Amino acid sequence: MTQTIRILLADDHRIVRMGLKTVLALEPDLNVVAEASTAEEALAAWRAAQPDVTLLDLRMPGGGHEALRSILTSNPQARVLILTTSEMEEDIHRALTNGAKGYALKDVAPEELAEAIRAIHAGGRWVPDDIARILAGRESSAALSAREVEVLHLLIKGLTNPDICTALGISLGTTKAHIRNILAKLQVSDRTEAAAEAYRRGLVGQDAG
């Protein structure tokens, strides 16, 4: 007899959850046992239902990354599949680094989603080729340090080098060194390109400017 996989759907859009339930109901071994629309609800639902696999959106009140961290703090063995619209490199890297077992976009084919759920339930991981390619791009370049990210945010806001010095309490020479490192790590040649690349990777939000 086929084992039923119990699923928690965590997404803040009710119509998305309804669509997922309809799709998953076509699979005899997949059963949605709980739903949530916020990070707080996701943790409470996970604790109450103890699902086999959680489908978790990153864009929800309270934050999908926060929900992932909370669930895995409750049980490091929890199996979470990120199902989202975000193709941002930083989101993908952060989710998988923080313990998600897989990452899929919401335009995934129904049969592929079912396959991903089964693979994760069996103890595997699920990273489709398009997501793997995005990650490969990140791995080919060095990550920014916490201070470099701070400088990058100020740079994008249009602050001059002296302004950045004052804001962060560092010397002009140190500021210039950080900016050189940022350009090199992002593989760009100027501030405008750095801003565009930072948005593409998800290193800063769209409202950072």
**What is the token pair recorded at 13?**
């859009």
Q: Which residues contact 152 (CB under 8 A, 6 or more apart)?
A: 144, 182, 194, 198, 203, 204
Domains, in order of start, for the chain:
5-138 (3.40.50.2300), 146-201 (1.10.10.10)
Instruction: Compute the distance between CA of residue 125 and CA of residue 103 in angstroms, rounded to an integer.
Output: 9
Instruction: Compute the distance between CA of residue 124 and CA of residue 118 in angstroms, rounded to an integer.
Output: 9
- pLDDT given for residue 145 in this prediction: 84
Q: How far is CA 192 from CA 118, 158, 168, 195, 204, in A?
A: 44, 10, 21, 5, 14
pLDDT in tens, the chain (209 residues): 568 999 999 999 999 999 999 999 999 999 999 999 999 999 999 999 999 999 999 999 999 999 999 999 999 999 999 999 988 877 888 899 899 999 999 999 999 999 999 999 999 999 998 888 877 765 545 678 889 989 999 999 999 999 999 999 999 999 999 999 898 888 888 988 888 888 877 777 644 44
Backbone angle region of 107, left / alpha / beta, with phi > 0 → left and psi within -120 to 50 → alpha: alpha
Backbone angle region of 150, left / alpha / beta, with phi > 0 → left and psi within -120 to 50 → alpha: alpha
Is there a contact between 158 and 209 (Cβ–Cβ < 8 Å)? yes
